[in-house]
């Protein structure tokens, strides 16, 4: 007679197996980043270089405007873009073009044969790479702090919210990128879609300019999009000052977008996989 297995044990066993997979993928990603240090450092330099350019420009604008631009001093601009550079190292989320490549060359077929969803593989990889890059950022971050002297208004509650907001942002952004990438099940070329979304993200996430400096109508638009919560909010939460109500509202918005994008990814995946066929060899 077959032995009855309690459903709770099945769920617990699956959770343990999934946790073991994540540990393995994260560890391998970190080892890979350490082994290919030059490549990782070049990528890190590019990530740090972008906000430094923005920082230099905005500090010049602040100085030529009497030292303040809508409440942003040179020191506050420094705080914003230095934290920006660290958040970017962790909140990556991959690229939709990875999905396009896997469908076109047939490697998606191999991923579908594994007993784990490809999204878990993506999450594990980006968590591992994010940890490695965020750690390697520390010396560069110290140099930036000494060079630009950031002006921060941080409290214990803000640090706590920041530490929660960053991983939530990474998860939500990964789900967003993977949802776009799963469009490769229908279209073998999704680069244009990814570029359009990337442009909107660039303008509405606070990457080029702090969102507080945008016109009122533009700020209202960013509240209705996920990009504000997956990028600008963690930065704003840490550099402060930010009222407790706004901190928790931001976390709730992040969690809401995480659920929305997770469900959308699930819907796109379940329908897209029915259309899947490898294109190349």
Tell me the pLDDT tens digit for each residue of 140-180: 899 999 988 899 888 999 999 999 999 999 999 888 888 88
Q: What percentage of the chain reaches a pLDDT higher than 70? A: 93
What local confidence, expressed as pLDDT, does residue 162 receive?
95
Residue 72, φ and ψ in degrees, nearest 5: -95, 115
Strand, coil or helix: 209: coil
Distances 221 to 33, 215, 226, 262 between C-alpha atoms, Å: 37, 10, 10, 22
**Does the structure show a pLDDT above 90 at 68?**
no
% pLDDT > 90, the chain: 27
Query: Which band of pLDDT confidence, cut at 50, 70 and 90, is reported for residue 277?
Result: low
Half-sphere exposure of residue 187, counting CA atoms within 13 Å on the CB side? 12
Identify the pLDDT of residue 280: 53
For residue range 95-145, list pLDDT tens digits in order.
777 778 887 777 777 777 777 788 888 888 888 888 888 888 889 899 999
Assess whether pLDDT exceeds 50 at residue 62.
Answer: yes
Strand partners, 69: 72
Token code pair at residue 103: 């469908």
- Point out which residues pair with 72 in neighbouring strands: 69
What residues have CB less than 8 Å from 175, skipping those under 6 apart? 119, 258, 261, 262, 264, 265
Between the alpha carbon of residue 97 and those of residues 27, 181, 203, 264, the distances in Å are 24, 7, 21, 19
pLDDT given for residue 1 in this prediction:
39
pLDDT digits (tens, 9 = 90+) for 22-61: 888 888 888 888 887 778 788 888 888 888 888 889 888 8
Give the CA count within 13 Å in the CB-facing half-sphere of 162. 20
CB 122 within 8 A of CB 102: no
Q: Which residues contact 122 (CB under 8 A, 6 or more apart)?
A: 94, 98, 174, 178
- Residue 235 CA to residue 159 CA, distance in Å, equals 10
pLDDT at 10: 39
Q: Which residues have C-beta within 8 Å of that of residue 109, sequence separation ≥ 6?
A: 278
């Amino acid at each position: 007679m077959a032995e009855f297995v309690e459903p709770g044990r099945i769920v617990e066993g699956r959770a343990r197996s999934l946790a073991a997979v994540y540990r393995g993928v994260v560890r391998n990603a970190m080892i890979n980043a350490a082994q290919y240090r030059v490549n990782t450092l070049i990528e890190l330099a590019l990530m740090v270089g972008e906000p430094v350019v923005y920082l230099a420009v905005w500090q010049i604008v602040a100085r030529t405007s009497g030292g303040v631009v809508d409440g942003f001093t040179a020191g506050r601009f420094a705080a914003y873009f230095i934290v920006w550079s660290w958040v970017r190292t962790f909140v990556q989320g991959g690229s939709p073009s990875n999905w396009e490549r896997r469908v076109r060359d047939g490697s998606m077929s191999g991923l579908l044969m594994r007993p784990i969803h490809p999204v878990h593989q993506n999450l594990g990889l980006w968590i591992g790479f994010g940890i490695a890059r965020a750690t390697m950022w520390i010396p560069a971050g110290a140099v930036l702090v000494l060079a630009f002297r950031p002006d921060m208004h941080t409290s214990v509650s803000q640090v706590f919210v920041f530490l929660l907001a960053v991983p939530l942002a990474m998860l939500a952004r990964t789900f967003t990128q993977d949802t776009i990438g799963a469009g490769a099940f229908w279209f073998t070329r999704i680069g244009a879609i990814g570029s359009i979304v990337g442009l909107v993200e660039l303008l509405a996430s606070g990457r080029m300019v702090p969102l507080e400096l945008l016109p009122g109508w533009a700020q209202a638009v960013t509240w209705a999009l996920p990009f504000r919560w997956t990028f600008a909010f963690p930065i704003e939460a840490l550099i402060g000052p930010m009222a407790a109500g706004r901190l928790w509202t931001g976390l709730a918005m992040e969690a809401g977008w995480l659920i929305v994008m997770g469900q959308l990814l699930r819907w796109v995946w379940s329908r897209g996989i029915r259309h899947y066929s490898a294109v190349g060899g």
